Every structure is written in structure tokens, then in C-alpha cells.
Chains A and B, each alone.
Chain A
């Protein structure tokens, strides 16, 4: 503002500083990428070498090249890929179970979490029971579901749903409890009905918590589906793993693990997109700006 001379020189200076800054940022990004690649090369390459030299027996510990070959087999042999049909069918089965379980568990978790979070009496009554149920290793319920519902897809969906339910429930419950009291009082004074308060205030406020829980919850849904399949199934990735285990094929186990990891990462990516969209009102977190 002081003088024309005073404003011109700094702008050139600023441009130079920005140029240097952009270069520094780019250099750092390249360095991180290179280091990441190096880690992968060391781990996978080391594994390959150690098993080739015979320090570890590839019969028990698998071998990266063997895993890659097995993956190619799985996806190239069509209906002959596994004893139970094409590999794609296995993926589809597990994915369907996980997604149904995820949706069922998440919806019931949100409904119960919001209801109990809103109602102090219900929360006091059911609180200890829910803690008890949460303390039980729920994965064991899989055995009961298989006995009760046979080896179809139902017990897997149920197991996935149970695992998801508790994660989402606790977060929804906590989220509702954390609603700002001033905001609630303000909405009430403005004349909001209880239903309007839930819709405009409580649920959006708890959504931050709920969405954070969905990331972990989808992982649990996949675990539920897989464990259910290992316990007894007609198709699915869990069954592929179990069969590979029974025929002493560690490469088959690792290859399927790899596929599951890709599925989980894809789901994570989709959830992050959903999160960005639903929580677009949030100020960018300081860590987000620096991440990746």
C-alpha cells in the first residue's frame, strides 16, 4: 500500500521463492516415491532370494515368483482355476457376503447407536449388556451360525454383520453423545421437532464418527465373510485359502491374501470418496494437506 516501488520488487521475490518452493516439494515427493519402491524391492526381492538360496523352505513359506505364477493361473484358467469354479466366482461370493453384511451391520449399528445415544434411560439399561456382548470374541459366533444356518451364504453375511454392527454402533452412540449442547438448545428454541433435531442436528453431527468407523468396519466385514467360509462353505475366497492350506500350497494362500488386500484397498478408496462427499463441510485437517 505504501508505494508502487515497494510493491513491485517483493512480487518478483515472491515468485522466485515460490519457484524454489515448488521445486523443493517436487524433489521431496520423488525422494519419497523412490524410497517406497526401494522398500518393496528389498522385501519382495529378499524373500525371493532367501527362498531361492534355501535359507527358508519355499514349501512352507512360499515364494514371490510362485505367488505371481499362482495368480496368473487363478485368473487365466477359467472354470478350472479352483475345484469350485472360476476364481472370479470366488471373489464375487466373498464380496457379496461382505457387502451385504457390511450394509446390514452398518444400518442396524447406526439406528441403534442413534436411538440409544438419544435416550439416556435406554442407554443406562442396555449399556452393560452391550459391553458384555462386545467383550465376547464374536468371531466364534461363526461356528454357531454355520450350525444353525448351514454352509450357504447366510451365516457369512450374519457373521460379517455382527462384526460390523458393534464397530458402527459404538461410534454412532458416542457421536450422538458428543453433539454440541448449544446447537441442540438453539435448534429446540427455534422450534425444531424431535424428528427434525435428529435429522438436521444429531445425525449430521454423529456422521463424522460414523464414517470414521466405516473404514474399520469394512475390514471387519471381509474378515467375517472369510472366517465364515473357512468354517464351512461351497465357494468363496475363504474356501480357496482353506483348500490351499490343506494341500500344502502356501503360494495359493498368499496369492488369495493379495487379492483380498486389493479388494480391501478398493473399498477403502470408495469409502474415502464417500467421506469426502458427505463431510465436505469440514475444514481441511492439517494432516490431510500434507498426506500422500
Chain B
């Protein structure tokens, strides 16, 4: 919360004009081959856009291909059909100016906190000294000054998330991909981290593609919520969240009438999918 309040409200259009931050996913189908060569469809005909500087959340039942979508945008994977455009260019190879945050820690346990954060610039050829200086600066921004020489296992789950956040943002990405980044945290820590994320996002204004199971989190944070159907995943509905920004802390916004209205509306749509996915998994198990 502290981070949020310090930030002078940035001009909403300050850094949103970066055309390279637009994500356009059109008609994307993704099939995977099992080791024995069987094909399996994870995504079918997925189409949605993320505007530059927009915070877009994707919700959907387990196994609906949400993570696959992120893999396609980052360039770690290719679509079987359709196109993924980032900044108007088709994704081939690792997309430039992108950062990733996972649910599991992607920190290197053998590097110190400082070394982990400095990795981004160093991989891009920045000198060690300069990379460390900017890593120090970022650790201060996420409230971890004084922990530079600790190793990840010495930190709490929330602190490790802060390190991951600093490591993801240090390259000042134009696009931030987040795969249930706070999924493993307890509710209080999750709320604190969400507030800090929004604070940092408002300063840098990258486009965010945020995957979550938690609809409340999605509505509280995002400008746009994409609801996906279960396996194979496709887009069921797209909702624009017109709650004004800055929104204040995510804990408080949950009590606003407009929030409840949107939440209810999206939940009606999501519930069917969740129930369908659940029925399928229990059906398979019996």
C-alpha cells in the first residue's frame, strides 16, 4: 500500500503510447503432441487483444490453456494455427522487451538476491557494475534494501515474490506476462503484493497479461478480463472493467457496488465453465 500512495498519479497516457506493447492474438489454435505422438488441442481459435499499457487478466477453469497462451506471446512456443502479433510483428523467437513471472519461483537458488535481479540486464550485455547498481535500485523500490546478499532460501515467500518482481521489471519491459504470480501466497501477502504490483505498474505502464484463478483478483487489478472456456480453451467473453484508476487498495475496492456488479456478471459466465471442467475431471476419475 505504501508504494501506491507515494506514487504521484502518473499521467494515464504517460507511457501507454508505446505501440510495441500491443498484443494481438487472432485465431490461435495450439496442439501438442504427447510423447507417443497423439495430438491434443490446448487452445482453439483464441482471439483477443491487449492494448498498450493495458492490464488484462485471463480467468478460466484449470487446464483451459491459459499458460499456453502466455507461452505463445513470449515466443517460448509457436501457435499451430493463427497469429500472435506483438507490437504489430509476428512472434518468432523470444519476444523482445518481455518479462515473465511464474507461480513457482524462477529465482536461481545459487545466486544472491542481488545477482538474481541483476541477471536481466547482464543477459542483455550490460556491464556487471551497472547491472548491480540498477539491481540495488530496484531492490530498494520493492522494499528489499539490505537483503542484497541473502540467498533466496533465506527469504519468506512474499519476499521472494518481491525479488521476482524486481527481476521482471528491471529491464523495463513493455510487456509483463504473469502466470498466477501470487497463487502460492497466503491471502494477506497476496493483497500486499497486488497493491505493490499495481503501484509499480502505474509507474512503468507495461502491458500486462495476468493469468489467475481468482476472479476477485482479476476484477480488482485489471482493465480487461478475458473468460476462457475449458479444454480446449477458447475465449468465452471479454469484459472491460470500468472501475476508475487509481483504485486504491485491492482489499477496499471489493466493497464498491460497481465491483460487486462486475464480479457477479463475470462469475455467472465463468461458473458454467468451472462446473463443466469439474464435471469432466470427476467423470474421468470415476
List residues of chain A with CB under 8 Å of any chain B CB. Answer: 180, 182-183, 185-193, 196, 200-201, 204-205, 207, 279, 281-283
Contact = CB atoms under 8 A, between A and B. Distances in A.
Contacts of B249: none
A180 B104 CA distance: 10
Interface string B168-205: 00010000010000000000000000000000000000
A186 B109 contact: no
17 contacts: A182-B102, A186-B102, A187-B123, A188-B76, A189-B75, A190-B123, A190-B167, A191-B120, A191-B123, A192-B119, A192-B123, A196-B123, A201-B108, A207-B110, A281-B111, A282-B110, A283-B153
A281 B106 contact: no
Interface in B224-271: none
Nearest to B97: A191
Contacts of B94: 188-189, 191
Contact of B106 (A182, A191, A283): A182
Nearest to B100: A189
Contacts of B167: 190
Contact of A190 (B99, B109, B111): B99
A60 B112 CA distance: 59
Interface in B36-88: 74-76
Contacts of A191: 94, 96, 120, 123-124, 171
User: Interface residues of B: mostly helix, strand, loop or mixed?
Assistant: loop
A204 to B, nearest CB: 5
B110 A182 contact: no
Contacts of A186: 100, 102, 106
Contacts of A188: 76, 94
B153 A189 contact: no
A189 B96 CA distance: 8
Contacts, number: 67
A70 to B, nearest CB: 48
A205 B153 CA distance: 15
A186 B179 CA distance: 12
Given A200-B119, A201-B108, A281-B151, A189 B102 contact: no
Contact of B104 (A182, A190, A200, A282): A182
Contact of B108 (A185, A189, A204, A279): A204
A205 to B, nearest CB: 8
B221 interface: no
B98 A189 contact: yes
B110 A189 contact: no
Nearest to B119: A190
Nearest to B125: A191
Nearest to B120: A190
Interface of B: 74-76, 94, 96, 98-100, 102, 104-112, 119-120, 123-124, 151, 153-154, 167, 171, 177
Contacts of A189: 74-76, 94, 98-100, 177
Contacts of A282: 109-110, 153
Contacts of B104: 180, 182
B101 to A, nearest CB: 9
A207 B109 CA distance: 12
A180 B151 CA distance: 17
A180 B103 CA distance: 13
A183 B108 contact: yes
Most A CB within 10 A of own CB, among B102, B109, B110, B177: B110
A207 to B, nearest CB: 8
A201 B107 CA distance: 10
A230 B177 CA distance: 63
Given A185-B100, A207-B110, A281-B151, 17 more contacts: A180-B106, A182-B102, A182-B106, A183-B106, A185-B106, A187-B119, A189-B75, A189-B99, A189-B177, A190-B99, A190-B123, A191-B96, A192-B119, A204-B110, A281-B109, A282-B109, A282-B153
Contacts of B74: 185, 189
Which 7 A/B pairs are nearest by Cβ-Cβ distance? A186-B106, A283-B153, A192-B123, A281-B110, A189-B100, A182-B106, A204-B110
A205 B119 CA distance: 16
Contacts of A201: 108
A188 B177 CA distance: 14
Contacts of A182: 102, 104-106
A196 B154 CA distance: 25
A180 to B, nearest CB: 8
Contacts of A283: 153-154
